[in-house]
A and B are shown apart, each in its own frame.
Chain A
Amino acid sequence: MSLHATGLRLAYGQRTIVDIPELHLEPGRITCLVGPNGCGKSTLLKALGGLLRPARGEIRLDARPLADWAPKALARRLASLPQSPSAPDDIRVSQLVGHGRYPHQGLLGGATARDLEVVDWALGATSIGHLRERRFATLSGGERQRVWLAMTLAQQAEILLLDEPTTYMDMGHQVELLELLAELHRRHGRTIVMVLHDLNQASQYADRLLAMRDGRILADGTPDEVVDSALTERLFGLPTERIDREIGGRRVPCCLPLPPARPEPPNPPAHLPAIQRPSANRSATRHLQPQIRNPA
């Protein structure tokens, strides 16, 4: 019950996006992928979910390559939530969440009592039971994101791969959703692999951080081990100050940005005329302003 990638190279056409010699994701843990935009974390997540065929190497689930799994059987084990997906116009929340039951259903026959029960549970778990009859198109961004998560939960897969599940959410909903994921992890032993934009949130919720840049893993370990100013500088070119917090008996690092050291602006070459001071400029044109405001 683990995902294992070897000799992995992911590419769009000729352009290599991700190059990872070996990656093992243990069951029952929360792993967060962090890194700057375009570092390949979403691409890696897609490949882990079987949505992108590796250009080289392979990913195995239970020692069987993802490509050899029957699509529905794979979807019962592993649920992926792509980044901000779109839905058909007229669909209702309960219908959308019901689609999560697809891998458990045949081609014919209505939803079983079990399907309805699971959909109810997924709606309740994501606190959107009251939205069940609403049209999806009328929901706010944060509500939509929770609906998508409910659909993913309705799949009842033990591995959840989530690409920025907190996008479009306000802080309260972000924490609510991450707490929900933590609870799924604690109570049901779900394995969660997610891309998070916010390094501090990732540090707070992850058992393991994978820090990526330019398609490679720069750091891999518990947040306490890997997060520091050196890491944020390598990832984002941003020096930070690490402050440790105690949360639930765990030391959780929190990085606050420091103003980057500003290089001295170069002196202008001597032969160029000096730049006019803005203040002098303003006083020189002051008498023109009324005319500009009220053209005759």
Chain B
Amino acid sequence: MSVRSPSVLAVPGRPDPAPGTPARNGFRWILAALCLALAATMALSLLAGSVYLDPHAVYQGLIGSDPDALGHRLVWGLRLPRTLLAVLVGLHLAVSGLILQAVIRNPLGDPGIVGISSGASLLVVTVLLLGDLLNAGLLHNASTEISLAWLPFAALIGGLGAAGLVLGLSWGERVSPVRLALNGVAVGAVLNALVMWVVVVWGGARTEIALIWLAGSLYGRDFEHLLLLLPWTLIGLSAAALLLRPLSLLRFEDETAQSLGLPVRRWRLIALGVAVMLAASATAVAGPVGFVGLVVPHLARRLVGGDMGRLLIVTLLCGALLTLGADIAARTLTVSQELPVGALTSLIGIPIFLLLLQRRTRTHP
């Protein structure tokens, strides 16, 4: 009985344009341009670095059989895993930001601001240093290495805890942008202080490693890191795809979403869980890379508007593009020493963050 002829009430003489043809074509062009840009940037990432390789050398390195050639070692040992990792880390953080912004209905949703990065950092640093501590204190002869594979889980626990704290403190009628930012800054500061405390007190020989990791860097990452992250990418993106429809509705007020048949609390928790999972796993391998999750979804909305499916695809591509671009800049801008990629993304992100905060507080105090 819910199936009724929909044409009965149709108002005659009101021509409806064919559904979204110009918009659809526009979207295809954007998609094509982004894919092309990403491919070009990935190629550039293989060429550029402290040593410039010409395209021929890269090509030879990629398919060549001589494992001792410089090109082969640079491409397979350093640049290819690093490039792919930058792509994955970027898309993790950007998609996480997209989900957070939808769920908390707040343009300041970002894994860094919500506290995921700081919480994840604390646990990761603890786990990194725990290995040394165990070796030194308990097992004098053994070289127990805590497996890298534990890092994402540690990061996940830390991220969930910190995000829970920040969101719990900020949750009112809806999450007010200013309150969220302030709580995020406060919790982040405390957590970062704890991180430093852990590093300084327990750091010992690994202090430097921990510090480099904490700056958010893709330096020295290899295929092991890539394989570590990949399962999380696959799970996270599949979950995000399944989340699209509920996520679309979570952007509305609770009552609106509920009246459309969405169990709001359940889906909100699931969506937050996916966001934390994506951001925390990326943090586990690359360290806290700030502001990608904040900036990219806004950029994507500018490009394609409010459709969640399109937003997800464009966010994913832009996140990869931004992080990879920042990483290329990080290793080519300075000659002797490379910059951490997290520093560059923050450099780009913080002005945009301030702009957004200002604009929001002007319209909704």
Contacts and interface: CB of A to CB of B under 8 A. Distances in A.
B6 A82 contact: no
Interface stretch (B16-24, B46-54, B112-120, B347-355): B16-24
Nearest to B253: A85
B252 interface: yes
B286 to A, nearest CB: 29
Interface stretch (B35-43, B254-262, B271-279): B254-262
B190 interface: no
A79 B263 CA distance: 15
Contact residue range for chain A?
A: 35 or more
Contacts of B260: 75, 99-100, 102-103, 155
A124 B9 contact: yes
A129 B6 contact: no
Interface residues of B, number: 41
A94 B244 CA distance: 17
Nearest to A136: B306
Nearest to B11: A124
B73 to A, nearest CB: 44
A121 B105 CA distance: 30
B10 interface: yes
B16 A129 contact: yes
Contacts of B56: none
B255 A85 contact: yes
Contacts of A49: 259
B7 interface: yes
A95 interface: yes
B14 interface: yes
A145 to B, nearest CB: 13
Given A82-B256, A85-B256, A121 B16 contact: no
Interface in A106-132: 107-108, 116-118, 120-121, 123-125, 127, 129-130, 132
B6 A133 contact: no
Interface of B: 1-4, 6-11, 14-17, 19-20, 23, 102, 105, 241-242, 244-246, 248-249, 251-253, 255-256, 258-263, 301, 305-307
Interface of A: 46, 49-51, 71-77, 79-82, 85-92, 94-95, 99-100, 102-103, 105, 107-108, 116-118, 120-121, 123-125, 127, 129-130, 132-133, 135, 155-158, 180, 183-184, 187-188
29 contacts: A46-B255, A50-B259, A51-B258, A71-B258, A71-B263, A75-B261, A82-B255, A82-B259, A87-B252, A88-B252, A89-B301, A90-B305, A92-B306, A94-B19, A102-B262, A108-B242, A116-B19, A117-B6, A120-B16, A123-B16, A124-B9, A124-B10, A125-B10, A127-B11, A129-B11, A129-B14, A133-B20, A158-B2, A187-B9
Given A91-B306, A118-B6, A123-B16, 11 more contacts: A51-B255, A73-B261, A82-B253, A90-B305, A105-B245, A107-B246, A129-B15, A132-B17, A155-B260, A183-B9, A188-B8
